[in-house]
A and B are shown apart, each in its own frame.
Chain A
Amino acid sequence: MNINMSRVRAISQKEFRDYRRNRFIVVTMAISPVVFVAWTLISLLVIPAAQTSPQLNTQVGLSMLFMLLVPAIIPAGIAAYSVVGEREQGTLEPVLTTPVRSDEFLVGKALAALVPTLAISYAIFGVVLACVALFAHPGVSSAVFRAPLLLALGLFTPLIAAWSIWVGIATSARSRDVRVAQQIATLASLPPVAVAALMAFDVIPQTLGVALGLAAVLVLVDSLGWRAVSAIFDRERLVTRS
C-alpha cells in the first residue's frame, strides 16, 4: 500500500476543521460519553460490598461494558457520513479529481473518526477509574483494577473503534442516504461489544490470555474490514451513480 501522508493529513485535517465548525457533531460526540460515564459510575458506586467475588466481577464487568459502547457508537456515525455525506454535499468529486488515492482518502477519513474516539474513550476511562479509586468500596475497586479487565478495555477500545469505522465507511460508500448509512453503521458496530459482554457475564472467562486472544481476533477482523472497505470504495460508481 503506497500512502502519501500529506494527502492523508489533508483529508483528516479538513474533517477536524469541519467538526469544530459543526456544533451538532461536537454535541453528539459529547452526549453519549457523558451518559455512559454517569451510568457506569452510578452502577459501580452503588454495588454492595457484601457480594461474592464472581458476582462482583460480573457486576463490575457489566458496568464497564458501557465504556466499550463509546468506541463502538461514536465513530460509527462519523464514518457513516464520510463518503455519502461528501457525495450529498457535492464535494466528493472535486476531491477525487486530485491525486489522492482511494486508500489515502479512506485512511484520512478513518483517522478523523479514530482520533477523537480514542481521545474521548480514554478520557472517560480515566475519569471512571479515578472516581472508582477515590469513591468506590475497596472490594469494588479491586474488582475494577484487575489486569484482564483493564487490558480488555485498553486493547478493545481501538479495535472496536476500528471495526465501527470500517463498517461505517463501507456502509457510507454503498449508501445513497446519510441517515440510512448512520443507522445501519450504528447497528453493525455492536457485534464486537457482544464479545465483551460475554466476558462480562463470565460466559467467556475473564483471563489475561482470553483478553489477548480476543484482541488478536479483533485485529484480524479489522484487517479484513480494511480490505473489504478498500474493495468496496469504487470511485467510478461513486462519481457516476445519481
Chain B
Amino acid sequence: MTSTNNSEPALVTHHLTKRFGDRTAVDGLSLSVAKGEVFGFLGPNGAGKTTTVRMLGTLIAPSSGSAMVAGLDLAPANGVEIRQRISIMPESPGLYLRLSVAENLECFAGLYGLADPRPRIQRALEAVNMASRAKDPCGTLSKGLRQRVGLARALLNDPEVVFLDEPTSGLDPVATREVHELIDGLRRQGVTIFLTTHRLEEAERLCDRVAIFSTTLRSVGRPDELRDRLFKKELSVETVAPLAAPEAVFGSIASVESWSAEGGPRYVLSVTDTRSAAPEVARALVRSGADILSIAETRHSLEDVYLELVDEDVEVSRT
C-alpha cells in the first residue's frame, strides 16, 4: 500500500462539476472522505454517481472544481499515479469471459506493474473465496461469482481507495450478502471504500457515512445524523383505551414538545430526547391510570431520509 499522511483524508472534492454540453451531470460537489471510512454515495438512477466515480478515477476530466484522491491532486499529470493508488469496480465487472479467473487477474496485475503477481493474485482470490475457481473460465461463472472476481481484481494493487459502483446491482440476495461480507472484510483491513448505490438498506448496513446526491449534494453525514437532521425525535405511544384527558397527561411533561392523536388509543409525541422522555411519559401515563400497551421510539429509515431529499426531484423528472 502506498504511504501517505494518515491525517489527510483519502478523498476531498471542492465544487467538482461535470457538464456534458448543456447538461450538468455533477454540480459543485464538495465532500471529504476519511481514511478507512466506508462512504456511501446514494442517489437515484441518472443522479451523476457514476460520473463522479469516473472523475475521481481520472477516466473523465471535471469541467470545473478540484479534488484530491489518495493524496494526489486530481490533474491529468497525476492520472497514472492516482490510478495506481486506487481501484474501481464498475457496475458490470467487465471480465474477459474466455480467459480463466487467474488469467484475468494476471492481465490486470501486469497493468498495475506488479513485480511478483502470483502471491498477490492468490491473496486476492482467497479474500473473495475464489481460490478454488482460479482455473475456471470466467464465462462459466454465475453473476455473483463474476462480481467476486471483479472485487478480487480491485484488490490486486492494495489500493488506498476502492470505488465500488453499484456492486450488488442485479445480484440475488445470497450473492448480495456475500458482497456485503467482502466489503465488511475490506473495512476491517482499513481500506477506504467509496460505495455508490441506490440500495438504501445496503448503505445503512455498510456505510459509516452517506451522501445523498442527485446532481448536487443534498446531505452528508452518518445515517442517524441525517435522520436527526431531517426528522423530529418522536415517541409512539399506545394504550389499551383512549386517554380521557391526553393534554393533561402529555402537556405536563417537560421533554414533550407537542403531541397528536393518531386515532383510537395511539399518540405520537414530539420530544427533545427519546431516552429521557420515554420513562417520563411512562410515569405520567401510570399516574393518569392508563394501561400502557407500548412506548416506542419512531424509527425513520435511511429510505425516509432519501425520499425526503430526493423524491421531489424524481417526481419532477417524471412529469
Contact = CB atoms under 8 A, between A and B. Distances in A.
A174 interface: no
Given A93-B59, A94-B153, A6 B99 contact: no
Interface string A1-44: 00010110111011001100110000000000000000000000
Nearest to B61: A236
A96 B99 CA distance: 19
Contacts of B92: 90
A92 B54 CA distance: 13
Given A14-B107, A22-B98, A97 B57 contact: yes
B111 A10 contact: yes
Interface string A81-110: 000000001111111111111000000000
Interface of B: 20, 51, 54, 57, 59-61, 80-81, 83-84, 87-90, 92-99, 103, 106-113, 137, 150, 153
Interface residues of A, number: 29
A7 B111 contact: yes
A13 B110 contact: yes
A94 B59 CA distance: 10
A92 B59 CA distance: 11
A52 interface: no
B24 to A, nearest CB: 14
Interface in A95-143: 95-101
Contacts of A94: 88-90, 93-94, 108, 150, 153
Interface of A: 4, 6-7, 9-11, 13-14, 17-18, 21-22, 89-101, 235-236, 239-240
Counting from the closest, the 8 A-B pairs by CB-CB distance are A10-B110, A21-B98, A98-B111, A97-B88, A94-B94, A90-B94, A14-B107, A236-B60
Contacts of A22: 98
Nearest to A2: B80
A13 B107 contact: yes
Given A18-B99, A99-B80, A10 B90 contact: no
Contacts of A240: 20, 51, 54, 60
A10 B108 CA distance: 7
A18 B94 CA distance: 15
Tell which of A11, A14, A95 has the most Cβ of chain B within 10 Å.
A14
B309 to A, nearest CB: 26
B55 to A, nearest CB: 10
A53 to B, nearest CB: 53
